[in-house]
Amino acid sequence: MALRLPERHQTVLFPPSVDDMVSQDAPVRAYDAMIDIMDLSELGLAIDHNKAGCPEYDPRSMLKLLVYGYSYGIRSSRKLERAAHDNISFIWLMGGLKPVYKTISEFRRINKKALKKVIKQCAHMCVDLDLIAGNVLFVDGTRIRANASISNSYTKKQAQKVLANIEKRIDKLITRCEQADAQEEGQPSFAKLSKDLEDANKLRSRIESIAEQLKSKDAPSNINRVDPDCCRVHSRQGTHAGFNAQIVVDEKNGLIVNSDVVSENNDLGQLSNQIEQANEVLGDKCKTACGDAGYCNYDEIGKLVEDEIEVIVPSNKQATQYYSDECTVKEFDKSRFIYDKDKDVYTCPEGKTLSYQGVNNTKKCNLYAAGSQCRKCCQFGVCTKSGRRGRRITRYFNQEFRDDMISHYDKPASKEIYRKRKERAELPFGHIKRNLNSGHFLLRGLDGVRAEMSLLSTCFNMVRLINIFGVSALVASLKAV
């Protein structure tokens, strides 16, 4: 069988241009068209053609390099530099520009706040293309590792313990320095000891600063000395230093409307904040906001309800199918107890009365108990095992509102919307973590991780747009916007 053999030294009369080497339906052309129509001044990337001094790289080209690189899981500045030299699609995208890794890294570091706005402009384009309706918004969050080790996180007690050890280490180094200084000339230099002493003093200063911050009333439970903005998060991979990444996704085509990153281990306080940010991007408020049970904070839900937004969030019991057809409500579950608003008492399934016992301001609830009459009940030991206090029931200050939200979720229409949440809101995180290999952040600080999350969210939107239109049609549509 004849073979086609490679020939590196074959000369051609007319060398092909770089543009000829990239097909018309190559995805890189879609990324190029998308960045071309972005308003850099709105992002905060100033372009001054009359600036004196050494010419700098075009900010638009640098932005293209970052977005396109992130879309293929290439985030390291050194790998991006290599791609700009070797990868034909990167060479085409950059028009032959070959910035070194320090330039790429510095551009990303200086323009963190500008990069955070990239997803918003991408969302505006999707609205112009009639791909985002803004009627139903799904919110979801995930934990992503920070560029810091959990071993560098200190509680108040740990900080004091580390300081004590550092003090002992400094004392030993000072003693060794004095001994070396007293020795005769010609002995080995103790410059290394001086360097160790300097490093120990710097470490002590950082730990002292952390210990001082932890004394504050509003201070977090622990602070990481490498990235003070990160927190201790719990995920399937265990406990590590990380952030809570948040996205808001539109129902129509599953496109990301807004992304954010917060220093919280859970989603409880994020619902209203994330929906408000998304509404600001859309320029109008949505009709329905939907989240999983992790967002079941009725104070947060109440803020959206007051703004006339329908909220679909299950309680923890509903999320675990506690009230599903396959599960039966326990005979003495709280829902079986009847509340009399006029008398302010509960009546149990056996007809016993649970009267008001007091208030718990910390949990924002009233307490009701049956007392010693439970001991005489035939269900004693099943309903409760407390003979002195009897069965207790807690009623939250906003119990009626909670009951309304629980009933609203049980409606067939609400459950139909909630079923769409998983395929819309959880898909982006799967793409970001697996396809883009972004289970951790490279940058530090909230500004840095928000910039990275914005780029990753934009990459997901671009993949969706290419799947919806195709490259050629998408490029034509973007140029027409």
- Of 121, 132, 30, 36, the C-alpha closest to 470 is 30
Question: What does the pLDDT read at residue 316?
Answer: 86
CATH code of the domain made up of 128-146+229-315+406-455? 3.30.420.10
Q: What is the pLDDT of residues 240-260, one digit of tens each?
A: 999 999 999 999 999 999 999
Q: What is the pTM of this model?
A: 0.85
Instruction: In whole angstroms, give the CA distance from residue 400 to residue 161.
Output: 48
- The least confident of 41-45, 253-257, 316-320, 447-451 is 316-320
Residue 370 scores a pLDDT above 80: yes
- The least confident of 5-14, 56-65, 250-259 is 5-14
Q: Which residues are within 8 A (CB) of 38 and not within 5 positions of it... i.e. 6 or more apart?
A: 60, 63, 118, 121
Q: Which residues are within 8 A (CB) of 250 and not within 5 positions of it... i.e. 6 or more apart?
A: 132, 133, 134, 136, 137, 138, 256, 257, 424
Contact of 282 with 262, CB cutoff 8 Å:
no
SS3 at position 286? coil
Q: What is the DSSP string of 401-437?
A: HHHHHHHHHTSHHHHHHHHHHHHHHSHHHHIIIIIS-
Question: What does the pLDDT read at residue 54?
Answer: 80
Question: What does the pLDDT read at residue 323?
Answer: 47
**Which ranges of 283-329 does DSSP label H, i.e. alpha helix?**
298-306, 316-319
Instruction: In whole angstroms, give the CA distance from residue 245 to residue 248.
Output: 11
Buried b (16+ CB within 10 A) or exposed e, 82-116: ebbeebebbbbbbeebebeeebbbebbeebbebbb
Which helix (H) or strand (E) segment holds residue 239: the answer is: strand 238-250
Question: What does the pLDDT read at residue 139?
Answer: 96
Tell me the percentage of the chain whose pLDDT exceeds 70.
84
Question: What does the pLDDT read at residue 181?
Answer: 58
Question: What does the pLDDT read at residue 206?
Answer: 66
Angle 424-427-429 (CA atoms, 0-180°, nearest 5)? 125
Question: What does the pLDDT read at residue 150?
Answer: 87
Instruction: Provide the pLDDT confidence category of residue 157 given band limits of 50, 70 and 90.
Output: low
Per the prediction, the chain carries an average pLDDT of 86
Instruction: Provide the pLDDT confidence category of residue 434 given band limits of 50, 70 and 90.
Output: very high
Contact of 248 with 257, CB cutoff 8 Å:
yes
Neighbours of 277 (CB within 10 A): 18
Residue 135 scores a pLDDT above 50: yes
Work out the average pLDDT over 69-83: 95
> 376: which 2 tokens?
């005489």
- The least confident of 138-147, 205-214, 413-422 is 205-214
